[in-house]
């Protein structure tokens, strides 16, 4: 049931408009979805009223409607490779888990969850494991993502509280972005900051990132810190502010403790601009400018993300930032504060329900009072009494055989964990593996004994919490696909089969949310204020009210029924004496340092148009065009030193594993560093799964992996030939060294390279171009002297596949060949197009759009260049007016500016 505001039936067109929330990042954008249920068609636009985005969406959010096809979905439970009923599958899971628990105890089973679960799913999973199975081994991919922020918040504030909010973007006069490629990873927040800057000329933006990312497009100052050195930078800042007498002594005295020790540690570590410059590999004037701006600007907001968290000193980095805000009293007042930009759509919800192995539900901890409180609330005698294993240790315990049964929900650890081959081996050898996922194939899912089809975005229905503590409804738009079920339902059913029916009486999502709200207010009265997380206002919420829930920032109580935007302007921290702690921290180098054998440092992160292991974004062909292949960024000097050329392939090795990637020579990162994207898995590339290379080093407090720093070597991959196949149907291409799948509109493109030449391409392909074998017609061009080979395969005049190989990557235009597979092209190829396939040159007059720059409107580099030249355009706004590029989400604006600059030269 939906209320009128959220569901507007449009009888005449058989569609209805439903308000929901984006599936992807922690910005938490509101969406207005136009839904044609009968035809399973959904078109999305930004919800103009949602306070996270006010109508904006980025390229990924805008393409959500293109990811909802059923062909890639897991639609039925599977047990040992065979379709099964839910009853059979869940009974087996219950039986196997119970048998392990009976023999080895509750610590021999594990759940590994995800910030992509809804709060309701997560609450039930945590309650089942910690409260009733009585084990603590439930951890989540948030360990790889936010755990340093959680640990830093708790050390400083006593609780995991995010003090600031998005409205601060427009209030601030200085925004410091630390380890955050906001332009690509939180694009709508980035657009809001850009707009704030245009509206307020006083607003300065500082970007602290070893790479000159697209986020630097709005930066007044870029600080290319050495990877891992942020503690020295912020310790230096604290020392400077102290020496310049720019601290807020009143706030320090009234609301904090630990000041003396923190100052002493900061000064010992980073006494002045020069020490900082040396430790962080920076020019002293850059450091001095940053320090001066920070000193001079009261309204300072610091936003940070994985460049901070994913480090062996991640927690200390967080506290070094929090120290500067606490000591200047820039906390919780409009335009001030630290704000951790969360990654996943519901990373925050997971933190609220205690999804990490070392927390209890509703922001409670493993202390005697909280343990007693949770046990009484859940009415259980089995509540686990000690924290469980964090992700890296958890998979080590699977590898060692200590954990004998594991259930992975909504995450893909075979791709995303460090030392990923070890994780794969652990899962392969585990006695019993259950995976619930919404797609039919993923690296982890493919190894499961039991595969459970989960409802995906557009079907699942519940709540998520974004970076600024805002709880929003993610609503079902379509009926459940096939036999899929919501994650909360699946876990509840397991609980029933394990004998806990009375404690898991949930029939709807609202039943769970209500209980979650009650627990948040349990022995947490507004006088006591023991815990920050309190949504007790919803303790009696009805299903109708829940369905109509408007976005709101917690805490939501009788006193604050409309939520709270900021915390701590007047202290009131959640520590016994209500004071925040300034933590004395000292900078440390990353744990594994480069050496003679592993001379370079591998950094890793995200690209604009893909989401994590690509199970969903790669379904939208327009999202595959911007960065079609795994790549490695390297400086020109290092490229020369290691004999690498732009566009060639490189092999990257570490002590843990190796991968192949296409070389992108760029001066946007420091010499000695490499950068690779985290996204490619075995589903899309045979050697692009980068997690295998990453060192399994963790922060000693948060246990978050150091995913941004692994010592590696790099060398050219000597390919005898390069090539690609564009095929109407998917192919299996074994025995080729380099294979990457790029899905296009109506075709599958495979980028290929090999060290040995393949002689029998036609028979290799014919056997796969079923059902047409025998009736295929081939048209081939072969020039052995130049090592060129082109062949096109037809069935009844319909183009089936094109294969092109040559001595290097410079092969015929892939976009043009892809366009020949357009399903609208019913009349078949024209003769000049057939000829052109042989010559490798598009027929005269064929538009060459070049590499796609704007994914929202599918505008290519060459189209933009042409528009600039012909219209004598000078600004990205003019480019937008002319060809629409950059006018939706704006994340390609920095690239459009780059093209403007290049054309202008």
Ligand X SMILES: Nc1nc2c(c(=O)[nH]1)N[C@H]1C(S)=C(S)[C@@H](COP(=O)(O)OP(=O)(O)OC[C@H]3O[C@@H](n4cnc5c(=O)[nH]c(N)nc54)[C@H](O)[C@@H]3O)O[C@H]1N2
Order the strands of the 82-83 sheet from edge to edge: 82-83, 78-79, 450-453, 432-437, 405-409, 109-113, 138-140
Shortest Cβ 43–ligand SF4 spacing (Å) = 14
Binding residue for ligand X (CB under 6 A) from 228, 354, 628, 860? 228
Coil, strand or helix: which one is 536?
helix
Order the strands of the 738-744 sheet from edge to edge: 738-744, 747-754, 721-727, 798-806, 788-795, 777-783
Is residue 497 at the binding interface for ligand X, with CB under 6 A as the rule?
A: no
Chain positions 671 to 690 lying near ligand X, rule: CB under 6 A, are: 678, 690
Binding residue for ligand X (CB under 6 A) from 181, 384, 587, 766? 181
Measured from the CB atom, is 606 or 866 closer to ligand SF4?
Answer: 606
Measured from the CB atom, is 514 or 612 closer to Mo ion?
Answer: 612
- Consecutive H or E run containing 770: none
Shortest Cβ 16–ligand X spacing (Å) = 22
Is residue 308 at the binding interface for Mo ion, with CB under 5 A as the rule?
A: no
Per DSSP bridges, beta strands 109-113 and 138-140 are: parallel
Measured from the CB atom, is 215 or 235 closer to ligand SF4?
Answer: 215
Which residue minimizes CB distance to ligand SF4?
Answer: 61
With CB under 6 A as the contact rule, which of the stretches 148-156, 412-420, 556-564, 818-826 interacts with ligand X? Answer: 412-420
Measured from the CB atom, is 341 or 644 closer to Mo ion?
Answer: 341
Measured from the CB atom, is 118 or 145 closer to Mo ion?
Answer: 145
With CB under 6 A as the contact rule, which of the stretches 196-204, 210-218, 375-383, 636-644 interacts with ligand X? Answer: 210-218
Question: Measured between alpha carbons, how far is 76 from 83 in angstroms, rounded to an integer?
Answer: 6
Measured from the CB atom, is 346 or 553 closer to Mo ion?
Answer: 346
Shortest Cβ 93–ligand X spacing (Å) = 14
Shortest Cβ 258–ligand X spacing (Å) = 24
Shortest Cβ 817–ligand SF4 spacing (Å) = 31
Question: Measured between alpha carbons, how far is 82 from 87 in angstroms, rounded to an integer?
Answer: 14
Is residue 463 at the binding interface for ligand X, with CB under 6 A as the rule?
A: no
Is residue 438 at the binding interface for ligand X, with CB under 6 A as the rule?
A: yes
Is residue 184 at the binding interface for ligand X, with CB under 6 A as the rule?
A: yes
Question: Measured between alpha carbons, how far is 517 from 524 in angstroms, rounded to an integer?
Answer: 11
Question: Measured between alpha carbons, how far is 85 from 856 in angstroms, rounded to an integer?
Answer: 40
Residue 856: which of ligand SF4, Mo ion, ligand X, none does it interact with, CB under 5 to 8 A by kind?
none
- Cis ω before 555 (30° cut-off from 0): yes
- Do residues 430 and 403 make contact, with C-beta atoms less than 8 angstroms apart? yes
Judged by CB under 6 A, the number of residues near ligand X is 61
Measured from the CB atom, is 124 or 145 closer to Mo ion?
Answer: 145
Q: How many residues does the chain have?
A: 905
Shortest Cβ 179–Mo ion spacing (Å) = 12
Binding mask 340-369 for ligand X (x = CB under 6 A): ---xx-------------------------
3-class SS string, 71-94: CCECCCCEECCEECCHHHHHHHHH
Binding mask 617-656 for Mo ion (x = CB under 5 A): ----------------------------------------
Binding mask 308-327 for ligand X (x = CB under 6 A): --xx----------------
Residue 516: which of Mo ion, ligand X, ligand SF4, none does it interact with, CB under 5 to 8 A by kind?
none
Residue 606: which of ligand SF4, Mo ion, ligand X, none does it interact with, CB under 5 to 8 A by kind?
ligand X
Shortest Cβ 191–ligand SF4 spacing (Å) = 9
Question: Measured between alpha carbons, how far is 73 from 254 in angstroms, rounded to an integer?
Answer: 56
Question: Measured between alpha carbons, how far is 480 from 465 in angstroms, rounded to an integer?
Answer: 23
Listed residue (436, 319, 387) closest to 76, CA to CA: 436
Shortest Cβ 467–Mo ion spacing (Å) = 11
Shortest Cβ 64–ligand SF4 spacing (Å) = 8
Question: Measured between alpha carbons, how far is 210 from 311 in angstroms, rounded to an integer?
Answer: 14
Q: Which residues of 661-692 are buried (b: 16+ CB within 10 A; e: fewer)?
A: bbbbbbebbbebbbbbbbbbbbbbbbbbbbbb
Residue 634: which of Mo ion, ligand X, ligand SF4, none does it interact with, CB under 5 to 8 A by kind?
none
Measured from the CB atom, is 29 or 241 closer to ligand SF4?
Answer: 29
Question: Measured between alpha carbons, how far is 513 from 349 in angstroms, rounded to an integer?
Answer: 11
3-class SS string, 541-570: CCHHHHHCCCCEECCCCCCCCCCCCCCCCC
Binding residue for Mo ion (CB under 5 A) from 158, 163, 187, 343? 343
Question: Measured between alpha carbons, how far is 219 from 203 in angstroms, rounded to an integer?
Answer: 10
Measured from the CB atom, is 704 or 805 closer to ligand X?
Answer: 704
Shortest Cβ 340–ligand SF4 spacing (Å) = 15
Where does this chain bind ligand SF4 (CB under 6 A)? 22, 24-25, 27-29, 53, 57-58, 60-61, 186-188
Measured from the CB atom, is 363 or 627 closer to ligand SF4?
Answer: 627
Cα distance from N-terminal residue to C-terminal residue, the chain: 59
Residue 57: which of ligand X, Mo ion, ligand SF4, none does it interact with, CB under 5 to 8 A by kind?
ligand SF4
Q: Give Cα 589 to chain centroid, integer Å.
A: 26
Beta carbons within 8 Å of 811's beta carbon, 6+ residues apart: 722, 723, 724, 804, 805, 840
Binding mask 119-148 for Mo ion (x = CB under 5 A): --------------------------x---
Question: Measured between alpha carbons, how far is 489 from 879 in angstroms, rounded to an integer?
Answer: 49
Q: Give Cα 756 to chain centroid, integer Å.
A: 37
Residue 188: which of Mo ion, ligand SF4, ligand X, none does it interact with, CB under 5 to 8 A by kind?
ligand SF4
Is residue 453 at the binding interface for Mo ion, with CB under 5 A as the rule?
A: no
Is residue 178 at the binding interface for ligand X, with CB under 6 A as the rule?
A: yes
Q: What's the angle, vertex CA 774, arms to CA 773 and CA 776, rounded to 5? A: 75
Is residue 305 at the binding interface for ligand X, with CB under 6 A as the rule?
A: yes
Residue 230: which of Mo ion, ligand X, ligand SF4, none does it interact with, CB under 5 to 8 A by kind?
ligand X
Query: Positive or negative, the Cα torsion across 221, 248, 309, 473?
Result: negative
Shortest Cβ 60–ligand SF4 spacing (Å) = 4
Is residue 454 at the binding interface for ligand X, with CB under 6 A as the rule?
A: yes
Listed residue (253, 257, 328, 265) closest to 581, CA to CA: 257
Residue 305: which of ligand SF4, Mo ion, ligand X, none does it interact with, CB under 5 to 8 A by kind?
ligand X
Shortest Cβ 180–Mo ion spacing (Å) = 12
Question: Measured between alpha carbons, how far is 203 from 813 in angstroms, rounded to an integer?
Answer: 44
Coil, strand or helix: which one is 435?
strand
β partners of residue 204: 174
3-class SS string, 168-204: HHHHCCEEEEECCCHHHHCHHHHHHHHHHHHHCCCCE
Question: Measured between alpha carbons, how far is 568 from 161 in angstroms, rounded to an integer?
Answer: 10
Is residue 628 at the binding interface for ligand X, with CB under 6 A as the rule?
A: no
Question: Measured between alpha carbons, how far is 801 from 754 in angstroms, rounded to an integer?
Answer: 20
- Do residues 515 and 505 make contact, with C-beta atoms less than 8 angstroms apart? no
Measured from the CB atom, is 29 or 125 closer to ligand SF4?
Answer: 29
Is residue 62 at the binding interface for ligand X, with CB under 6 A as the rule?
A: no
Q: Which residues bind Mo ion (CB under 5 A)?
A: 145, 343
Q: Which residues bind ligand X (CB under 6 A)?
A: 25, 114, 116, 141, 144-145, 178-181, 184-185, 208-211, 213, 225, 227-228, 230, 305-307, 310-311, 343-344, 409-413, 415-416, 436-439, 442, 454, 456, 460, 487, 603-606, 608, 610-613, 615-616, 678, 690-691, 694, 707-708
């Amino acid at each position: 049931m939906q209320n009128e505001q959220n569901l507007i039936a449009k009888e005449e067109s058989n569609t209805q408009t439903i308000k929901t929330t984006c599936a992807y990042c922690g910005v938490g954008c509101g969406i207005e979805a136009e839904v044609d249920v009968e035809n399973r068609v959904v078109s999305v636009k930004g919800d103009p009223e949602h306070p996270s985005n006010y109508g904006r969406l980025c390229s990924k959010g805008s393409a959500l409607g293109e990811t909802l096809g059923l062909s890639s979905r897991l639609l039925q439970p599977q047990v040992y490779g065979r379709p099964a009923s839910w009853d059979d599958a869940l009974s087996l899971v219950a039986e196997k888990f119970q048998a392990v628990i009976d023999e080895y105890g509750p610590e021999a089973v594990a759940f590994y969850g995800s910030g992509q679960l809804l709060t309701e799913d997560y609450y039930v999973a945590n309650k089942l494991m910690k409260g009733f199975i009585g084990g603590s081994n439930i951890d989540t991919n948030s360990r790889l993502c936010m755990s340093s922020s959680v640990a830093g918040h708790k050390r400083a504030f006593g609780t995991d509280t995010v003090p600031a909010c998005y409205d601060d973007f427009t209030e601030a006069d200085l925004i410091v972005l630390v380890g955050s490629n906001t332009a690509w990873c939180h694009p709508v927040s980035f657009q809001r900051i850009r707009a704030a800057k245009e509206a307020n000329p006083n607003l300065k933006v500082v970007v602290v990132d070893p790479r000159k990312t697209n986020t630097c497009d709005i930066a007044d100052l870029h600080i290319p810190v050495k990877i891992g050195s942020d503690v020295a930078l912020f310790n230096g800042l604290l020392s400077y502010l102290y020496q310049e007498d720019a601290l807020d002594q009143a706030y320090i005295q009234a609301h904090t403790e630990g000041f003396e020790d923190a100052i002493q540690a900061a000064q010992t570590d980073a006494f002045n601009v020069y020490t900082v410059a040396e430790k962080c590999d920076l020019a002293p004037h850059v450091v001095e400018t940053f320090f001066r701006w920070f000193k001079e600007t009261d309204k300072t907001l610091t936003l940070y993300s994985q460049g901070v968290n994913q480090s062996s000193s991640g927690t200390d980095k967080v506290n070094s930032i929090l120290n500067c805000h606490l000591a200047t009293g820039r906390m919780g007042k409009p335009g001030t504060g630290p704000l951790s930009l969360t990654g996943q759509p519901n990373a925050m919800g997971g933190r609220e329900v205690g999804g990490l192995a070392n927390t209890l539900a509703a922001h409670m901890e493993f202390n005697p009072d909280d343990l007693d409180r949770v046990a009484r609330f859940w009415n259980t005698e089995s509540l686990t009494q000690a924290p469980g294993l964090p992700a890296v240790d958890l998979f080590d315990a699977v590898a060692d055989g200590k954990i004998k049964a594991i259930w992975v929900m909504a995450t893909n650890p075979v791709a995303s964990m460090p030392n990923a081959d070890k994780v794969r081996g652990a899962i392969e050898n585990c006695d019993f593996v259950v995976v619930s996922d919404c797609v039919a194939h993923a690296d982890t899912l493919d190894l499961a004994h039991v595969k459970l089809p989960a409802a995906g975005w557009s079907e699942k229905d519940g709540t998520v919490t974004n970076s600024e503590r805002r709880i929003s409804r993610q609503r079902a738009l379509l009926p459940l696909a096939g036999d899929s079920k919501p994650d909360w339902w699946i876990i509840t059913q397991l609980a029933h089969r394990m004998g806990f029916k009375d404690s898991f009486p949930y029939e709807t999502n609202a039943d769970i949310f209500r209980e979650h709200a009650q627990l948040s207010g349990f022995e947490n009265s507004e006088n006591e204020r023991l815990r920050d997380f309190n949504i007790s206002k919803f303790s009696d919420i009805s299903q109708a009210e829940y369905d109509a829930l408007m976005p709101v920032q917690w805490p939501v109580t009788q006193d604050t029924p409309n939520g709270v935007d900021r915390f701590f302007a007047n202290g009131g921290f959640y520590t016994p004496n209500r004071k925040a702690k300034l933590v004395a921290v000292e900078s440390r180098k990353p744990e594994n340092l480069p050496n003679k054998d592993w001379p370079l440092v591998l950094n890793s992160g995200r690209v604009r148009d893909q989401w994590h292991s690509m199970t969903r974004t790669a379904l939208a062909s327009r999202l595959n065009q911007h960065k079609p292949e795994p790549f490695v960024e390297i400086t020109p000097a290092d490229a020369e030193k290691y004999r690498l050329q732009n566009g060639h392939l490189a092999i990257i090795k570490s002590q843990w594993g190796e991968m192949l990637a296409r070389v992108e020579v760029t001066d946007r990162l420091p010499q000695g560093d490499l950068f690779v994207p985290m996204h490619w898995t075995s589903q899309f590339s045979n050697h692009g799964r980068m997690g295998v290379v990453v060192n399994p080093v963790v922060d000693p407090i948060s246990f978050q992996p150091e995913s941004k720093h692994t010592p590696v070597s790099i060398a050219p991959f000597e390919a005898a030939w390069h090539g690609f196949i564009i095929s109407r149907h998917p192919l299996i291409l074994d025995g080729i060294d380099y294979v990457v799948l790029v899905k296009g509109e109506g075709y599958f493109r495979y980028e290929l390279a090999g060290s040995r030449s393949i002689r029998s391409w036609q028979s290799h392909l014919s056997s796969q171009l079923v059902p047409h074998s025998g009736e295929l017609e081939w048209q081939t061009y072969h020039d052995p002297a130049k090592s060129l080979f082109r062949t096109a395969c037809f069935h009844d005049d319909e183009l089936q596949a094109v294969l092109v190989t040559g001595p290097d990557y410079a092969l015929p235009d892939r976009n043009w060949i892809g366009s020949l597979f357009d399903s609208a092209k019913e009349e078949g190829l024209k003769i000049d197009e057939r000829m052109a396939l042989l010559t490798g040159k598009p027929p005269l007059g064929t538009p060459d759009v070049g590499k796609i720059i704007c994914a929202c409107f599918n505008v290519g580099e060459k189209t933009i260049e042409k528009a600039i030249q012909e219209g004598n355009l000078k600004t990205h706004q003019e480019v937008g007016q002319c060809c629409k590029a950059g006018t939706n989400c704006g994340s390609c604006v920095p690239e459009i500016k780059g093209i403007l600059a290049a054309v202008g030269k």
